[in-house]
Amino acid sequence: MTSLRNEIRLLGLSLEDGQTLRTVCPNCTAAHEETFILTRDGDRLLYQCKRASCNTKGRIVSNSALKSGSHNQKKVFKPKYFEGEAWPLDEQTPIWSTLKAKYNFSDEDIEVFTQEGVTFELEDFSGLKFLHFPIYREGKLIGTCRKSINHKPKERRKSKLYPHIQGIPYYYFPNVGRSKELFIVEGCMDAIKLACMNKSAMALNGTSLNIEWFAEYLKEAEWIETVVLALDPDAQSIARRMEKDLSLFINSKVLALPKDPKDCTKEQINEGMSLLQI
């Protein structure tokens, strides 16, 4: 066991806090199968082999912490993030610095994430990080939309909390009633980006809009005067067709941006809105 721990510590030498390594397991040595996942968490190394016949897992003190003795020092409390547990998103959450750099958020924008009830989740030892966007209808939580931050997969919906509710589109609405315009976007991160600009938004979680349902929704949402379609650049043809359908019962416009709304700076979005006289 001692030699195995030493091998794991050697593997973790190049890892910085929060980084993850996937490689061949030093215990079962499955040829050419990278089943071993190693994550650096402060002074600790978390490890697990995904091969069922091995299933080696645990946590040990890192090599650098052993040499410095820092693992024995009294530390300021730092919350740990475990599999399947959702945590409130704030300035202390490890993912916040990544979000600011990747999507051009500012320190003040964290308040919007908090107000909208967005939570953070770390998935098992793989190190995948997710945000959960709550979806409400008539004041009731019907589910969440799960967004991967450090991996390629698209936003994934979690199963609805109320599966008996039929005919309710799985749309995400942040900042309801904050502006006279409703911005329709593809993803939850696009929507929260506009919410940080004090705009009301609706995320389709794709490019499909239930026109009949939306027409009924507009009868209740009297605060909406204009619908602005801010889909991704590769979906502008869909936005034009959608605008044609919506213009039958509400003032509609198409916002053309150089990149996806979540990837644009606030200045780029403001420039696009000024061209539409919004």
Q: Render pLDDT for 58-81 as a digit per residue (tens, 0 to 9).
A: 888 776 665 555 444 433 333 344
Q: Residue 164 has what pLDDT?
A: 44
Residues of the chain with pLDDT > 90: what percent?
27
Kind and range of the H or E run holding 161: none
Q: Name the DSSP class of 6.
A: H
Q: Helices then strands (H, E): number in the chain?
A: 8, 13
Q: H-type helices in 46-126, by residue range? A: 63-68, 95-103, 110-115
Please say if the pLDDT value at position 33 is more than 50: yes
Rounded Cα distance between 184 and 276, Å, is 15
Question: If DSSP codes are grouped into helix, strand and coil, which group holds residue 170?
Answer: coil
Band the pLDDT of 226: cuts 50, 70, 90: very high
Rounded Cα distance between 231 and 203, Å, is 10
CATH numbers and ranges of domains, the chain: 2-72 (2.20.25), 87-117+166-275 (3.40.1360.10)
In angstroms, what CA-CA distances link 196 with 105, 120, 144? 8, 18, 20
Residue-averaged pLDDT of the chain:
79
Tokens (6 digits) for 172: 């995400």
Q: Name the DSSP class of 158.
A: P
pTM of the model: 0.66
Q: Angle at CA 127, nearest 5°, toward 18 and 35?
A: 120
In this predicted model, what pLDDT tens digit does every residue of 77-106 receive, in sequence order?
333 444 446 677 777 777 788 888 889 999
Q: What average pLDDT does range 231-255 have in this prediction?
A: 94
Cβ(255)–Cβ(229) below 8 Å: yes
Q: Residue 197 has what pLDDT?
A: 93
Rounded Cα distance between 134 and 158, Å, is 10
In this predicted model, what pLDDT tens digit does every residue of 168-202 receive, in sequence order?
677 888 877 788 999 999 999 999 999 999 999 99
Tokens (6 digits) for 275: 């061209």
Tokens (6 digits) for 149: 């931050």
Please say if the pLDDT value at position 110 is more than 70: yes
Rounded Cα distance between 7 and 20, Å, is 16
Band the pLDDT of 271: cuts 50, 70, 90: very high
Band the pLDDT of 251: cuts 50, 70, 90: very high
Rounded Cα distance between 124 and 50, Å, is 11
Q: Angle at CA 14, nearest 5°, toward 29 and 122?
A: 80
Q: Residue 259 has what pLDDT?
A: 94
Q: Is 42 exposed, middle or buried (0-12, 13-18, 19+ CB in 10 A)?
A: middle
